[in-house]
Structures are given as C-alpha cells and as structure tokens.
C-alpha cells in the first residue's frame, strides 16, 4: 500500500530535514547521502523513500545509480536552507558589534 505522505510529517523528522539540507546544495546518490549519517543505510533509504513519496525529492536515473534532487516545485528556494546559517552569523556579528560599541565608549 502506498500511502500518500504528508509534507509536514516528512519534515518533522530531523534526519529527513538534514537530508533535505544536504541535497539542497548538491544533488547526490543514496550512498553519498547515507555517508553523512551514523544511521544504518536501510534507515536512510526509508527516509529517502518518504521524501520522494511526498515529492520533496525527485529521483533521476543515471546508469545504475539513482541521484536525488530537491524538488524545486515543492520546496522554496535554497535560501530557506541558508537562513539558519545566516541567523547564526547574524547573532555572532551582533555580539561583535555590541562588544565593540562598549569598548569604544570605554576608551
């Protein structure tokens, strides 16, 4: 039975979100994706299946290999994946700015 998967259910899982981040910046084979996780390979395959079923990922046959791409129609652009990274730097630079302002007035 092939249940129609819900997108929100799919992205509720941290490993699946991490897979989306990996694939967002670079299309990859299942093996290359699995190499990034401590999780067993069949578990990663299951996650890929779920992500493909709800059309977050798109499969492309390349010889004997299957390459996974992010489905641009389902996911918003790559910027969404960069946002947490950007926020991390933004916080750090805000700290720099406040440290230096304090330093400036002390002088």
Minimum separation from the CB atom of position 6 to other proteins (A): 19
What is the DSSP code (8-state) at residue 67? E
Minimum separation from the CB atom of position 55 to other proteins (A): 20
Minimum separation from the CB atom of position 96 to other proteins (A): 4
Helix 79-106 to helix 14-25 angle, to the nearest 10 degrees? 90
Q: How far apart are the C-alpha atoms of 49 and 41, rounded to whole Å? A: 12
Distances (CA, A) of 50 to 27, 69, 95: 17, 14, 40
Q: By the criterion CB under 8 A, which residues form the site for other proteins?
A: 14-15, 17-18, 21-22, 24-26, 28, 32, 36-39, 78, 81-90, 92-93, 95-97, 99-101, 103-104
Structural tokens at position 103? 């330093």
Give the nearer residue to other proteins in terms of CB position, either 4 or 103.
103
The answer to whether 68 and 58 have CB atoms below 8 angstroms apart is yes
Give the nearer residue to other proteins in terms of CB position, either 24 or 54.
24
Give the nearer residue to other proteins in terms of CB position, either 1 or 79.
79
Minimum separation from the CB atom of position 1 to other proteins (A): 29
Give the nearer residue to other proteins in terms of CB position, either 3 or 42.
42
Q: How far is CA 18 from the centre of its chain?
A: 4
């Amino acid at each position: 039975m092939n249940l129609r998967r819900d997108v929100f259910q799919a992205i509720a899982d941290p490993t699946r979100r991490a897979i989306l981040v990996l694939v967002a910046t670079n299309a990859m084979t299942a093996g290359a994706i699995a190499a990034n996780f401590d999780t067993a390979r069949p578990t990663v395959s299951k996650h890929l299946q779920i992500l493909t079923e709800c059309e977050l990922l798109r499969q492309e046959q390349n010889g004997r290999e299957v390459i996974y791409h992010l489905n641009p129609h389902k996911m918003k652009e790559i910027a969404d994946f960069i946002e947490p990274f950007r926020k991390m730097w933004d916080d750090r630079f805000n700290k720099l700015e406040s440290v230096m302002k304090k330093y400036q007035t002390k002088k």
